[in-house]
Structure 1
């Protein structure tokens, strides 16, 4: 049963902390986009804010993993939450004092990007430490459920709060969410793996992390595969507005519902991925979700009806989220706990780089052709991920009999 993983208090406290901090980040991120559009009416400004978010996350990912593996991961998240809360309070105070200044939102975007990249690497490494291997898939499923539910609630509440009390108060609530999240994290009791690496110098630890992935091409490439669904989700957000208005001739209601149906698919993945992996095997489920994703995206690309867009959005959310759950679980079961932070940071940096290139390239392609091409690009991206995964798994399967024969001889 998926909710049985909440019985141990360590993961229960982590789960609550994850929901609270994620909800706060969701509210402020959505609110910032609305605030900037209201104040400037400039899509260029919104695009620059998104770019700053991604660039800041990319830069911190280059060294965050070494910090995460060298020191206590729980403490890193707590201190990051406190620093982010303090920064948000300063930005809110600046807005209250001087009114709107675009520089404040750009500073918010940079802090948000760095905080998110650091949190993703540290929190997933912490989950690997506090959960036994047999519970990892259920833990990752619950994290995905909390993410989707949190985004649903954050989107709805952010709009109401922004309309009636303003973006400044949203920033204050986000700061409060970080503090509350740190409070729940403080209740987690465990023996951190970092004790093994206390005497290792930072530069040496960084080099060892790169060497660890370089010597394990299977793990490195599997990590690359794991970020493809994440990049696909970002591409979906880029393609959807133009697709709704130009291809299916919908309005803002259709756009909102399409995004909601994506969230429903993501929510379903939390309940379906683990049982399906148990029935088919994790490998079989991953292959199935990749194939469904490829075919579904082709169908959406040639579609011109709103109902099929809604159905396709559910499947996009289901396949992307399920693949993240299953592949992340495989990585947690495979990667040494001592190197999880550095490995995750490398993959996060690659993901952010892919997102930047994809967003820029897709904008040019969509403007020249049509938004439907964006879904074909997503299908190609998922097919590429499927091919890499299938080849990796085939080679891994072929090696096992050879190793067994060598051991017998």
Structure 2
């Protein structure tokens, strides 16, 4: 049973910290999207807000990846949470003391982008240190559960909370959540991995991380496959507000509940991904999950019913989160701990660059045509992920054949 993992004290604190952090991020993200739509009714503006989020993360990712492989990962996460808490509380104060200004939301988005990138690069590296290799898949499953519990409860509550209390109170709750997460992560007792590159400059250390991936194309493309579902999820957040507003004619509550169903799907993935991979093999499971996700996203493009939006969000969340569990487990098995932070930062940089390019364009296309087009584009993005995964399987198969031929030749 995967919940036996919670007997490990360090992992338990890490797990609880992730739930609360995800709750805070989920509430503020859903609230910010709807608040912006409520004020100026522009999907383009939502896309720009997300673009600022990812550009900020992109710019900081090389530094964070290098720091993650040189400094104590727990300390980096702890300070990230505390700084985010202070800045988000400051943004709440600006909205309370002043009227709506889109610049405040853009600043909030930049803060979130830097915080989320630091969290993604560092937390997975810390998780790799906390767990033994045999526990990777169960650990990743539980972490996905923790994220989705936080996200789907936030999504369900955010729409209601927004109408009753307003966006300012959501931001204050977000700040409190970050402080609680910091207190929990500080309880983790761990001597971080000793690095063998302390005398290198930061630039040389980052170049070593890039060279590590360039010399191992299989590992690099596995990481690319892993970020496709993450990019698709971010794009989903751009498409969803206008889709709820226009295609299914819903309210902020429908928007929040849709996000909640995505989270429920992610929660289920924590229980189902590992058994599913054991039954069909990891590679086949990834192929099946991509195909199901592609199909439902395309179906959502044609949909006008709220109930099917909830079902589609559930399936999309289940498939995307399962893909992340399986691919992150593969990455942890293949990438040495001393390179994990830099490798994650490279993949995060690619993910953020894709989001920065796609978000404004996607928002503009939705404003000009229809939200259904957004789901067609998402379906195409997942198809690209499937094609890259099949390419990786082919490359690994050829490599295995060549190694066998080489061994046979040497034996003869």
TM-score normalised to structure 2 length: 0.89
Q: Is the alpha carbon distance of 1:278 and 1:332 closer, same or farther for their aligned partners in structure 2, counting shifts above 3 Å?
A: same
Aligned counterparts of 2:245 and 2:160: Cα–Cα separation in 1: 25
Partner of 1:213: 213
Alpha-carbon deviations, 1:321-358, whole Å to 9, x = none? Answer: 11111111111111111111111111111112212222
Aligned counterparts of 1:355 and 1:86: Cα–Cα separation in 2: 26
Q: Is the alpha carbon distance of 1:226 and 1:405 closer, same or farther for their aligned partners in structure 2, counting shifts above 3 Å?
A: same
Q: Is the alpha carbon distance of 1:74 and 1:271 closer, same or farther for their aligned partners in structure 2, counting shifts above 3 Å?
A: same
Partner of 2:201: 201
8 Å Cα contact 2:44/2:364 also seen in 1 = no
The worse-fitting range, judged by mean Cα deviation, of 355-364 and 154-163 is: 154-163
Alpha-carbon deviations, 1:237-281, whole Å to 9, x = none? Answer: 33344445655x543365555443333222221111111111222
- Please state if 1:251 is matched with 2:250: yes
Return the offset for 1:386: 1.1
Partner of 1:375: 375
Return the offset for 1:172: 3.6
8 Å Cα contact 1:297/1:375 also seen in 2 = yes
Partner of 1:400: 400
Return the offset for 1:66: 0.7
Aligned counterparts of 1:238 and 1:302: Cα–Cα separation in 2: 17
TM-score normalised to structure 1 length: 0.89
Aligned counterparts of 2:162 and 2:244: Cα–Cα separation in 1: 25
8 Å Cα contact 1:141/1:325 also seen in 2 = yes
Alpha-carbon deviations, 1:44-66, whole Å to 9, x = none? Answer: 65544333222211111132101
Q: Is the alpha carbon distance of 1:265 and 1:28 closer, same or farther for their aligned partners in structure 2, counting shifts above 3 Å?
A: closer
Alpha-carbon deviations, 1:129-181, whole Å to 9, x = none? Answer: 11111111111111222222212222344455555555444434333322322
Partner of 2:3: 3
The worse-fitting range, judged by mean Cα deviation, of 117-126 and 134-143 is: 134-143
Structure 1 residue runs of 5 or longer lacking an equivalent are none
8 Å Cα contact 1:14/1:184 also seen in 2 = yes
Runs of 4+ in 1 over 6 A off after TM superposition: none
8 Å Cα contact 1:71/1:194 also seen in 2 = no
Partner of 1:275: 275
8 Å Cα contact 1:227/1:351 also seen in 2 = yes
Aligned counterparts of 1:213 and 1:69: Cα–Cα separation in 2: 15
Aligned counterparts of 1:41 and 1:295: Cα–Cα separation in 2: 29
Aligned counterparts of 1:304 and 1:164: Cα–Cα separation in 2: 27
Q: Is the alpha carbon distance of 1:361 and 1:223 closer, same or farther for their aligned partners in structure 2, counting shifts above 3 Å?
A: same
Return the offset for 1:20: 1.7
Aligned counterparts of 1:254 and 1:159: Cα–Cα separation in 2: 8
What does 1:35-184 align with in structure 2 at a 5 Å threshold? Answer: 35-36=35-36, 46-95=46-95, 97=97, 101-159=101-159, 161-163=161-163, 165-184=165-184
Aligned counterparts of 1:234 and 1:323: Cα–Cα separation in 2: 15
Return the offset for 1:302: 4.3
Aligned counterparts of 1:43 and 1:280: Cα–Cα separation in 2: 40
Aligned counterparts of 1:164 and 1:297: Cα–Cα separation in 2: 32
Q: Is the alpha carbon distance of 1:204 and 1:156 closer, same or farther for their aligned partners in structure 2, counting shifts above 3 Å?
A: same
Partner of 1:340: 340
Aligned length: 408
8 Å Cα contact 1:21/1:181 also seen in 2 = yes
Pick 1 or 2: higher relative contact order, CA cutoff 8 A, min separation 6.
Answer: 2
Partner of 2:16: 16
Partner of 1:263: 263
